[in-house]
Amino acid sequence: MPPPPLLPMLPLLLLLCPRLARADPLACEYREHRAALASPAADPAVISPQDPTLLIGSSLVATCTVSPDFPLKAEDLYWTLNGRRLPAASYAALGPSTLSVALARLNGSRQQSGDNLVCHSRDGGILAGSCLYVGLPPEKPVNITCWSKNMKDLTCKWAPGTEGETFLHTNYTLKYKLRWYGRDNTCQEYHTAGPYSCRIPKDLALFTPYEIWVEASNRLGVAVSDVVMLDILNVVTTDPPSDVHVSRVGDLEDQLSVRWSSPPALKDFLFQAKYQIQYRVEDSSEWKVVDDVGNQTSCRLAGLRPGTVYFVQVRCNPFGIYGSKKAGIWSDWSNPTAASTPRSERGAGGCDPKGGEQNTTLRRELKQFFGWVKKHAYGCSNLGIKLYDQWRVWLQKSHKTRNQVLPGDKL
């Protein structure tokens, strides 16, 4: 007995493969649909070429050939691309049951999983589908940068090339090896610091340079980055400094004292560190950076506004680890710590019409001189700050003495 015609069985096939019946025009899944059918002979039609990969700007002629078991002719068929019906002017009947479509100057695929090219029967039924992969070959990855957090791991980032977008799914593989010996190793923990990154969590060698590179591959080819050479000791970064404290400096209304502790994770290693401080006023987003902190763990900020809340952060750059001559990489900034400067008491008391007239010239000269010191003694310039502090202490003492004497003068 001959097999029954398959056209009446099409509803049953669609029932067995529901995703085929409701195929999303933006999801190319026809390979799975075909696998769900009992056998290739059960396909209502066949599209050729099947799942082609093409360069952007290419042209394609695809054919849909209906199975002899289906009573459909070429004039009973039409094509869609990503759910949009293609114009009949692009069709050509190549036989009683074969219809072709010509696609010219193809654009990049709308999604990396491919575009849907579908052959339909007159009533809209899906007969066959093909995934079109239209894009560009990958370019070699660039700008590889790596850092080691506390010498315990190594994380690398890169950029995908000058253009970046290939319109195709592109795999990136970071590989590394010891420079003078050893085999190629492949990084396993991807996307740890962004979309183009990978982390090597352990088993790192010190005192031996590494060769690191990235391979990009997709359906149209492979591209390999330049090889980067690095020594783990030269790319160390740390946790931010801990225990950051900001406090007032007595009654000095234009200064704050900042103290912090070295990063705890590196206390067991032979290294030095240099620090940076940044600070801003409460109502501003602009940070001022103090670069000349050196390797000390305290600093005096001078030249601040009286009665103002400041936010302060500190970061660390290790250098000289195990004798390395290169500086490491700046850590993240510590969490902001806030403190306020004292309010200025100038003008808070009554007027002083009598006192100080004989010292007007001297006071004016001192004001000019220490105004210059105040202007230039920002950051952690200890000499200028000490001179300025001495002058402020003397001025406060003389001001208190004058206030104590003046009431007696009025009697």
pLDDT class for 330, splitting at 50, 70, 90? very high
pLDDT class for 191, splitting at 50, 70, 90? very high
In sequence order, what DSSP letters do the residues of 247-304 get, joined into one string? Answer: EEETTEEEEEEEEEE--GGGTTS--EEEEEEEEEETT----EEE-TTTT-SEEEE-SP
Q: Cα(6)–Cα(66) distance, rounded to whole angstroms?
A: 11
Tell me the average pLDDT across 188-200.
Answer: 93
What integer pLDDT is reported at residue 386 of this predicted model? Answer: 56
What integer pLDDT is reported at residue 119 of this predicted model? Answer: 96
Tell me the average pLDDT across 202-221.
Answer: 92
What integer pLDDT is reported at residue 92 of this predicted model? Answer: 95
The CA–CA distances, whole Å, from 28 to 59, 117, 399 equal 20, 9, 84
Tell me the average pLDDT across 56-77.
Answer: 93
Question: What's the half-sphere exposure (Cβ side, CA atoms, 13 Å) at 89?
Answer: 1
Task: Name residue 64's amino acid.
Answer: C
Tell whether the model's pLDDT for residue 196 goes beyond 50.
yes
Tell whether the model's pLDDT for residue 88 goes beyond 90.
yes
What integer pLDDT is reported at residue 294 of this predicted model? Answer: 82
Cβ pair 207, 176 in contact under 8 A: no
Superfamily of domain 236-340: Immunoglobulins (2.60.40.10)
Mean of pLDDT over the chain: 79
Instruction: State the distance between the two ends of the chain, measured CA to CA, in whole angstroms.
Output: 135
Tell me the average pLDDT across 154-175.
Answer: 90
Tell me the average pLDDT across 206-233.
Answer: 94
In sequence order, what DSSP letters do the residues of 327-386 get, joined into one string? Answer: B----PPPPPEEEEPPPP-TTSS---SSTTGGGHHHHHHHHHHHHHHHHH--TT-HHHHH
Tell me the average pLDDT across 253-277.
Answer: 83
What integer pLDDT is reported at residue 21 of this predicted model? Answer: 37
Cβ pair 216, 223 in contact under 8 A: yes
- pLDDT tens, residue by residue, 14-31: 333 333 333 444 456 555
Give 244 or 319, the one with higher predicted confidence: 244
Query: 164: how many CB neighbours lie within 10 A of its CB?
Result: 13
- pLDDT tens, residue by residue, 298-316: 999 999 999 999 999 999 9
What integer pLDDT is reported at residue 2 of this predicted model? Answer: 45
pLDDT class for 328, splitting at 50, 70, 90? confident
What integer pLDDT is reported at residue 351 of this predicted model? Answer: 33
The CA–CA distances, whole Å, from 280 to 40, 57, 298, 339 equal 70, 53, 18, 11
The CATH fold assigned to 7-135 is Immunoglobulin-like (2.60.40)
What's the length of the chain? Answer: 411
Intervals of CATH 2.60.40.10 along the chain: 7-135, 149-234, 236-340
Tell whether the model's pLDDT for residue 409 goes beyond 80.
no
pLDDT class for 150, splitting at 50, 70, 90? confident
Tell whether the model's pLDDT for residue 384 goes beyond 70.
no
Task: Name residue 146's amino acid.
Answer: C
Tell whether the model's pLDDT for residue 50 goes beyond 70.
yes
Query: 252: how many CB neighbours lie within 10 A of its CB?
Result: 21
Cβ pair 246, 314 in contact under 8 A: no
- pLDDT tens, residue by residue, 95-142: 999 999 999 999 998 888 889 999 999 999 999 999 999 999 999 999
> 30 phi and psi, to 5 degrees?
-70, -25
Q: Cα(115)–Cα(112) distance, rounded to whole angstroms?
A: 8
Q: Report the number of secondary-structure helices (H) and strands (E) in the chain.
A: 5, 26
Cβ pair 256, 247 in contact under 8 A: yes
Question: What's the half-sphere exposure (Cβ side, CA atoms, 13 Å) at 81?
Answer: 20
pLDDT class for 399, splitting at 50, 70, 90? low
Closest CA to 128 of 97, 106, 149: 97
pLDDT class for 321, splitting at 50, 70, 90? confident
Q: So what's the architecture of 149-234 in CATH?
A: Sandwich (2.60)
> Model pTM?
0.68
Tell whether the model's pLDDT for residue 395 goes beyond 70.
no
- Burial group, residue 246, by CB count within 10 angstroms (0-12, 13-18, 19+): buried
Tell whether the model's pLDDT for residue 207 goes beyond 60.
yes
Place of tokens 């009025």: 410
Tell whether the model's pLDDT for residue 6 goes beyond 90.
no
Give 64 or 363, the one with higher predicted confidence: 64
Kindly report which listed range (295-309, 314-328, 394-408) carries the lowest average pLDDT score: 394-408
Tell whether the model's pLDDT for residue 12 goes beyond 60.
no
What integer pLDDT is reported at residue 229 of this predicted model? Answer: 95
Q: Cα(221)–Cα(216) distance, rounded to whole angstroms?
A: 8
Q: Cα(392)–Cα(398) distance, rounded to whole angstroms?
A: 10
